[in-house]
Amino acid sequence: MTQRALVLFSGGQDSAVCLAWALDRFERVETIGFDYGQRHRVELEVRLETIKALRAQFPKWAQRLGDDHVIDLSVLGQISETSLTRDVAIAYEKNGLPNTFVPGRNLLFFNFAAAVAYRRGLDVLVGGMCETDFSGYPDCRDNTLKATQLSLSLGLDTKMTIETPLMWLTKARTWAMAQSLGGDALTQLVIELTHTCYHGVRDALHAWGYGCGECPACALRKAGFEAWRSVGKAEA
């Protein structure tokens, strides 16, 4: 049976690699993004540029890549007060989670993605969640997503599979996956177009991409890139 995928694509490094992974594997791939009043609109801008570049540089994938959907989840701003949507500093709270955490945000994303997938005839949801190098968001953990897969399949009365190809990979291995899927062209695309920085900085291009280089997201991206480069592209 042909599986058709909907990729949760935020414009970040991880979801961009997941999009390439899905394009390599599924005959039909669509993308979904969420506009929840992010402080930095750059995330929503780079996702369109990344899709455009993938279409232009990878003709085989362009044939498979269908519609992009952007869902307005500005309602999240009403129920959450976090540093992603308000101009406050990123800090770690008593429970060990960064204040960037919007409680249950990922659960909402998957529920909306599943509804769109259902209407579009897509049966696989692909997300870039990762437990390995991770801030510990409980709604991004493997067991949460396995339970979500079951809940969605029951609630929609159709098989809905959640794939998380990066779940057990280090950031270095995520770079290696990009390299094996699309060679230098894909890693360069990920470096130059995807956005990870919590502060929305895009003024200087580093070897690992744009960003402030200091925030937890930049630190993770930079360290992963350097680890990948240090062991050599082939062995990571």
Q: Which of 138/213 has CB closer to Zn ion?
A: 213
Binding region for Zn ion (CB under 5 A) out of 14-22, 32-40, 85-93, 213-221:
213-221
Of these, 23, 114, 189, 197, which contacts Zn ion (CB under 5 A)? Answer: 197
Q: What residue type is 138 in one-letter code?
A: P
Beta carbon of residue 47, minimum distance to Zn ion (angstroms, whole number): 18
Tell me: does residue 84 bind Zn ion (CB under 5 A). Answer: no
CB-based contacts of 151, cutoff 8 Å, min separation 6: none
Tell me: does residue 122 bind Zn ion (CB under 5 A). Answer: no
Report strand pairing: 65-72 vs 124-126. unpaired
Binding region for Zn ion (CB under 5 A) out of 49-57, 107-115, 140-148, 196-204:
196-204
Of these, 33, 182, 211, 224, which contacts Zn ion (CB under 5 A)? Answer: 211
**Residues forming beta bridges with residue 29, ordered by sequence position:** 5, 65
Distances, alpha carbon 67 to alpha carbons 40, 62, 159, in Å = 24, 11, 22
User: How many chain residues interact with Zn ion (CB under 5 A)?
Assistant: 6
Looking up tokens 């900085």 gives 201
DSSP designation for 140: G
Answer positive or negative: Cα dihedral of 202, 208, 213, 215: positive
Enumerate binding residues for Zn ion (CB under 5 A): 197, 199, 211-212, 215, 218
